[in-house]
Structure 1
Amino acid sequence: MSAITAKMVAELRELTGLGMMECKKALVETEGDVKKAEELLRIKSGNKASKMAGRTAAEGVVKAFISDDKKVGAIIEVNCETDFVGKDEGFGAFAAACAKAVVAGNPANVEELAAVVTDSGETVEDLRKAIVAKLGENMTLRRFVRYETEGQLAAYIHGAKVGVLVDFAGGDEQLGKDVAMHIAAAKPKALDASGVDPEAIETERRVAIERAKEAGKPEAMLEKIAEGTVQKYLKDVTLLSQSFVKDDKLTIEQLLKSKSATVNAFTMLVVGEGIEKKVVDYAAEVAAAAQL
């Protein structure tokens, strides 16, 4: 059994939002396996989902660019070290130039994007080096998605930190913007149930069964309870099943049908999602230094 460290307890608290002693006990029960401990706490507490998913763990911006005919577009995440630089106009302009370069150059990955020539005549990498030299921070092109469509594209950027690109057919420009804004707010995981990770569905099913057992439900009811939980989960995380944020009497599927429209695909990028950000505890550093 691995030693239960304060860092492990802190990580589990961040994931679940539960108390320190509860987290430590769960880690002891699961022999230091944070993932298993999170699942155990969800079963015991009824906690719906991880709080980690929407956490911003690195700085930077999301930018989008769509061609005039709305047929080709891209969305990109560009990272920097501090929020201060993330708000700099020059850094924002660099990220916007990168999004435009993705559309123009159609690179296969960020390595190829670095070599794309921008409107200024310089490559993306040249621009990156220049802005790094000016602002004094490292900057990285983390990820991008490019769409070409027979329909049309729409984008929505919320506070430079959350960006959405939607490929849709039918309807009008306003519908595309509304759907993109909804995605930024409701954060669906997939268009419909077919796009949801089977492992995530199985986890929901397993947690529901264990929770029902803890509550003393009869064995014969467990599968029915689990199926009901899974269906509710799918309704919550699939775009077409979600209630429209501007009119909760309509699902997105109903909204699209009323406009004779369909969504072909969408991408949402959240700045720093999945990146572990180093947290410096200055008080601890000072205390440690005092012991020397």
Structure 2
Amino acid sequence: MNISAQRVKELRDKTGAGMMDCKKVLEASHGDIDQAIEMLRQKGLASANKKSQRIAAEGIIESYIHTGARIGVLLELNCETDFVARRTEFQTLARDIAMQIVASPDVEYVSIQDIPENVIAEEERIEAGKEDLTNKPANVKDKIVAGRIEKRLKELSLVSQAFIKQPDLTVEELIKKNIALLGENIQLRRFEKFVIGGGVPKKSNNFANEVAEILQNK
């Protein structure tokens, strides 16, 4: 059903949840405010956004080495106090996010807002130049490119990913759920992924050429 902006704002004012979160639960509840509030509380999103403006300068550095020791992650997860940083729930969240990064090979940035303009411009150039759009009218082409870019930016953004342990939640929603649970602002500050051989050119062997060379030297 079509949910009005006024209805979304009303729910946001009552719960402090994000606009998109409010819209999603209103659509799922067919516009029923009380049911939508209950759904937000179940997801741990109600009031989480109100805490997101607080300063989060404490936290932990989490590390995760995947089985086989060929890929690893370091990340910084911040909260407001050292007390929460020592909580099992907070440390579990950091561990889960580190595992999520390993499981998301396309992810390069924390959020879409962190993606540089030059990267977005390059993605737009690539999409606009694809052959399947050559004969499309300009307005249709623009809509297709915009849709593909939106999808691509979400692929690059960690918080836009479906949480591997609970796919009906995004990583962003998972963090908000923990904000509501722990009562403090939580921010994923940064992360770094390490892959064996990453950035080092690898020798490419052409088997056919090797066989031809052996035969020629006989």
Matches within 5 A, 1:1-292: 150-158=58-66, 159-170=68-79, 171-187=89-105, 188-211=107-130, 213-214=133-134, 216-260=135-179, 261-281=186-206, 284-285=209-210, 287-292=212-217
- Could you give the per-residue CA deviations for residues 175-227 of structure 1, whole angstroms, max 9, x where no partner exists? 1110000000013110112332434322321233233533x321122223222
The residue identity in structure 1 corresponding to 2:94 is G
Select between 176-185 and 273-282 the one with higher mean Cα deviation.
273-282
The residue identity in structure 2 corresponding to 1:183 is I
Aligned residues: 143
- Could you give the per-residue CA deviations for residues 144-180 of structure 1, whole angstroms, max 9, x where no partner exists? xxxxx73112111112111111110245111111000
Higher strand share: 1
Percent same amino acid at aligned positions? 34
Counterpart Cα distance in 2 of 1:263 and 1:201? 22
Counterpart Cα distance in 1 of 2:74 and 2:200? 21
Change (3 A) 1:234 1:286: closer
Matched-pair contact (CA < 8 Å) for 1:235–1:242: yes
* Shift >3 Å, 4+ stretches: 197-200, 279-287
Structure 2 unmatched ranges of 5 or more: 1-56, 80-88, 180-185
TM-score (norm 2): 0.58
Q: In structure 2, the residue corresponding to 1:174 is in which secondary structure?
A: helix
The residue identity in structure 1 corresponding to 2:167 is D
The residue identity in structure 1 corresponding to 2:168 is K
- Could you give the per-residue CA deviations for residues 108-141 of structure 1, whole angstroms, max 9, x where no partner exists? xxxxxxxxxxxxxxxxxxxxxxxxxxxxxxxxxx
Counterpart Cα distance in 1 of 2:90 and 2:211? 59
Structure of higher RCO (CA pairs closer than 8 Å, 6+ residues apart): 2
Counterpart Cα distance in 2 of 1:225 and 1:285? 45
Counterpart Cα distance in 2 of 1:226 and 1:165? 34
Counterpart Cα distance in 1 of 2:208 and 2:141? 50
1:279 positional shift: 3.6
| Alpha-carbon RMSD | 2.2
TM-score (norm 1): 0.44
